A and B are shown apart, each in its own frame.
Chain A
């Protein structure tokens, strides 16, 4: 296979570059490689969009579960504050 053909076919490499790009700047060579691939590959165009959506959704999931009201029970809290007070008195 020639080099260009390799780039066009290699979705494994393209998805790797898509993930890398979401965290770090790609090299010039990588940018070109990814552009060529995405131009011809509808699978990876969908992948690229979904990859971003997934990142957003995971962030949203964490935000909403932080606000969903996890509460420690009161006895546990009372005891815990007491342990802290004991620790403070020791010093």
Chain B
């Protein structure tokens, strides 16, 4: 199928979708608004390059994604020093320094929802939301690109300028903090 662009309908057809896409990833309404605007204006410049292989929405979303990655990059380079160090400090005492064994008070305990229909628990969801926001921007960016946008690891590394080994370290540390935050606030 060959897709076509219809810029006269862009805002009506896609603006709310793009806005929601940006907000769920950046949690910042003003910035999300700006990015939607920038996306359409950048798209205008690129109309000639549209080949019709992807749908209009997919094409616009790809432009928005790149803008979101720019935000991740800017935010994480600026805030890197404090937020990552803080987040790393949080997990310093999770494991015994010598053996790597869980320190008992930090060891995983059942949440009590693992085997149930966990997808409907609103209270747990709101705690999860808060715990996600506590992660350093770079960590959350890596996590979102992997688990929500399903980008390959090497793409994420290239876009966010992290090495492959750092990618695995971040992936591990993100989940350790996220899980510990849930345990602390839920149980």
B11 touches A81 (CB 8 A): yes
In Å, the complex CA distance between A68 and B109 comes to 32
Binary interface encoding of chain A residues 65-91 relative to chain B, with 1 for a CB under 8 A from any of its CBs, else 0: 110101110001100110111011001
A15 to B179, CA, bound (A): 11
> Looking at chain B's contact residues, is the secondary structure mostly helix, strand, loop, or mixed?
helix
B118 contacts A57, C-beta separation under 8 Å: yes
Q: Which of A53, A84, A91 contacts B118 (CB 8 A)?
A: A53
- With A51-B179, A61-B129, A81-B11 as given contacts, are A56 and B118 in contact (CB-CB < 8 Å)? yes
Give min CB distance, A36 to chain B, whole Å: 14
Does B108 lie within 8 Å of A43, measured CB to CB?
yes
Contacts of A65 in B (CB 8 A): 20, 23-24
B141-156 residues with Cβ-Cβ distance < 8 A to A are 143-144, 146-148, 153
Q: Is A54's CB under 8 angstroms from B175's CB? A: yes
Q: How many A-B residue pairs have CB under 8 A?
A: 135
Asked whether, in the complex, the Cβ of A66 is within 8 Å of the Cβ of B108, the reply is no
Chain B 24-57, CB-CB to A under 8 Å as 1, else 0, gives 1000000001001100110010010000000000
A19 to B107, CA, bound (A): 17
Cα distance A53–B148 when bound, in Å? Answer: 14
Interface residues of A in 23-82 (CB under 8 A from B): 23-24, 43-44, 46-47, 49-51, 53-62, 64-66, 68, 70-72, 76-77, 80-81
B102 to chain A: which residues have CB within 8 Å?
Answer: 11, 43-44
Contact surface of B with A, Cβ cutoff 8 Å: 7-8, 10-12, 15-16, 19-21, 23-24, 33, 36-37, 40-41, 44, 47, 94-96, 99-102, 107-111, 113-114, 118-119, 124-125, 128-129, 132, 143-144, 146-148, 153, 168, 171-172, 175-176, 178-179, 182
